[in-house]
Chains A and B, each alone.
Chain A
Amino acid sequence: MTAPAAAAISLDGVSKVFGHATSALPALDRVSIDVAAGEFLCVLGASGCGKSTLLNLIAGLDAPTAGRIGLEGRAGLMFQEAALFPWLTVAGNIELALRLRGVARPERRARALELLSLVHLDGFADKRPHQLSGGMRQRVALARALAQDADVLLMDEPFGALDAMTRDLLHTELERLWQDRRFTVVFVTHNVREAARLADRIVLLSSRPGRVAGEFPVAIDRPRRIESPEVSSLAVEVTDRLKAEVRRHAAH
């Protein structure tokens, strides 16, 4: 076991450049972030800040050009789209995650149903992904990520394509699961209120290339509401910084 304050993720001077020489496109520039075990970190930035690149690097789907990345334990990744496999049922999708993790066949079904119940989808086990709504598919994706028994949950604008009400409920859902299970979350979004609603700490990335442009600890008591004055006033503060960042690009 790691000590409570130990870093689950440590990024040390991480840079990522796509392409070579003349056509090189720097996506991330010397990004250093430590994420404590059990912390809920939101990464916020405008377009072109390399948010998705950052998650790919942490997940190990891509390698950094320079710098060091440390990850304690296993990472699960969620995308803006649920990315469920259409040829499997809802339970089948989760069972595949369990299978690839090496869970024995007799256990899989029961574990899958348990996980579905956890995201309040009892009774949908034998449906096909296309029979569910977007919000429900994201909950299945969440259950699938949990099935990996991930210590770190990487989320790439997971609720970006949902309507406001569904998103609101999923914030509560995610917060509840996180509080129960205490995994580490790196949640990428461009929605400032969403970040203020969920995060323990917000990291602001500048754009082209992505650099850490600011950090905001969020000391608002949970459970929070996205409409609460504390969340709103923090959102205003962060938005102003974000806008200043964006204005910098108009001058170029």
Chain B
Amino acid sequence: MPVVPEGGTERPADDRLRDELAGLDALELAATARAGRAGRLWSATWPKLAALALVLLAWQGLVWAEWRPRYALRPPADVWDALWANVADGTLPKAIRITLQRAVLGFGLAVLIGAGIGAVTSRVRVVRSAVGSLITGLQTMPSIAWFPLSILLFGITEQAITFVVVLGAAPSIANGLISGSDHIPPLLLRAGRMLGASRLSLYRHVILPASLPSFVGGLKQGWAFAWRSLMAGELLVIVENKPSIGQQLQFSRDLNDGAGLLASMIVILAIGIVVDSLVFGVAERSIRRRWGLVDGAD
């Protein structure tokens, strides 16, 4: 059935233009095929599983070859048993809870402080030349070197740990925001100004969102530094009645408990990887996909 255009006032030339544009649009938008969800999951997972299997095999090989005394280097199966025992008697869940509380507190403070410093430093030229290189310098400072001072200032307390975690993570986060606003295409700034954005609304609507990928990169790096600082702190600053993962690690060494020690290390590694890939990895990928910075297949 022929469709009668509503009102019938549209000129035929307009119709033709619309059809020509629509045709050209359809031709230029090539269909992008994406692998199914299951397929993508599998292709992302199997290399990791294979790598894990290789590591376990090498480890077991070293044990079989009796490279070190058995009590020092325990086989994967013993470590697995120790891990389960720690989970079953509740010590590991409790330790993980306390450690993660510290991580969240320290990292959260670092985000607030780092983002604040980054925002001011990137926009105010005087501040930039005053502390810009200091921030980068702080990044290279090993966090463990802060602990003597931190313990002197705060004693053997939670604050001593938080202090160093914040110092470890905040510079990376600040730097992420600074380099993000350094690398905005000038054309986008011009476009923003042309749309009538004032200094403040330009920051809010253009500079801040344009810095997002770099900021998330800074958060990811900041998390890695925070996690390292926290582990160093928990080894050195053992707060009473606060069993943590780092503390477990230290106690295992004191007791020559090789299996427990490796079990704690595996937990530390696993938490680091899980947070990195599930929180920051997912955020990073979703930004890259939305901005069109990845090929459709990724």
Once A85-B209, A130-B292 are accepted as A-B contacts, the answer to whether A96 and B29 lie under 8 Å apart by CB is no
Closest-by-CB residue of A relative to B186 is A83
**Interchain CB contact under 8 A, B196 and A100:** yes
B187: Cβ under 8 A from any A Cβ = yes
| A-B pairs under 8 A by CB, number | 82
**How far does the Cβ of B174 sit from chain A's closest Cβ, in whole Å?**
21
State the CA gap A25–B196 with chains docked (Å). 29
Across the interface, do B194 and A59 meet the contact criterion of CB distance under 8 Å? yes
Q: From residue A75, how far is it (CB to closest CB) to chain B in Å?
A: 8
A150 nearest CB across to chain B (Å)? 10
Given contacts A61-B190, A83-B188, A87-B209, whether A96 and B24 have CB atoms under 8 Å apart is: no
Q: Is there a chain B Cβ closer than 8 Å to A22's Cβ?
A: no
Let me know if A189 is at the binding interface, CB within 8 A: no
Segment of B10-18, B123-131, B253-261, B269-277 engaged in the interface with chain A: B10-18
Is there an interface contact between B196 and A101, defined as CB atoms closer than 8 Å? Answer: yes
- Let me know if A85 and B17 touch, CB within 8 A: no
- Determine which residue in A76, A84, A120 has the highest number of CB atoms from chain B within 10 A of its CB, and name it: A120
In the docked arrangement, what's the CA distance between A88 and B192, Å?
Answer: 13
Instruction: Determine if A144 is an interface residue (Cβ-Cβ < 8 Å).
Output: yes
Q: Which of B13, B14, B24 contacts A166 (CB 8 A)?
A: B24
> Of all chain B residues, which has the CB nearest A76?
B194
Interface residues as binary, A69-113 with B (CB distance below 8 Å gives 1, 0 otherwise):
000000011010101111110000000110111000000000000
The CA-CA distance from A81 to B201 in the complex, in Å, is 23
Q: How many residues of A contact B (CB 8 A)?
A: 37
| Interface: B120 (CB within 8 A) | no
Query: Which range contains the number of B residues in contact with the other chain?
Result: 20 to 34
Flag B267-289 by CB within 8 Å of A: 1 or 0 each: 00000000000000000000000
* Contact present for A128 and B292 (CB under 8 Å): yes
Whether B28 lies near A61 (C-beta < 8 A) is no
* B291 CB–A CB distance under 8 Å: yes
Which A residues touch B193, using CB under 8 A? 61
Q: Does A24 interact with chain B (Cβ within 8 Å)?
A: no
Q: Does A251 contact B (CB under 8 A)?
A: no
**With A130-B291, A148-B196: A87-B17 Cβ-Cβ less than 8 Å:** no
Apart from A84-B191, A87-B212, A169-B17, what 4 extra A-B contacts exist at CB < 8 Å?
A100-B195, A133-B24, A148-B195, A169-B24
Residues of A in contact with B (beta carbons under 8 Å apart): 59, 61, 76-77, 79, 81, 83-88, 96-97, 99-101, 120-121, 128-133, 135-136, 139, 144, 148, 165-166, 169, 172-173, 176, 223
B interface residues with partner A (beta carbon < 8 Å): 13-14, 17-18, 20-22, 24-25, 28-29, 187-188, 190-197, 201, 205-206, 209-210, 212, 290-292
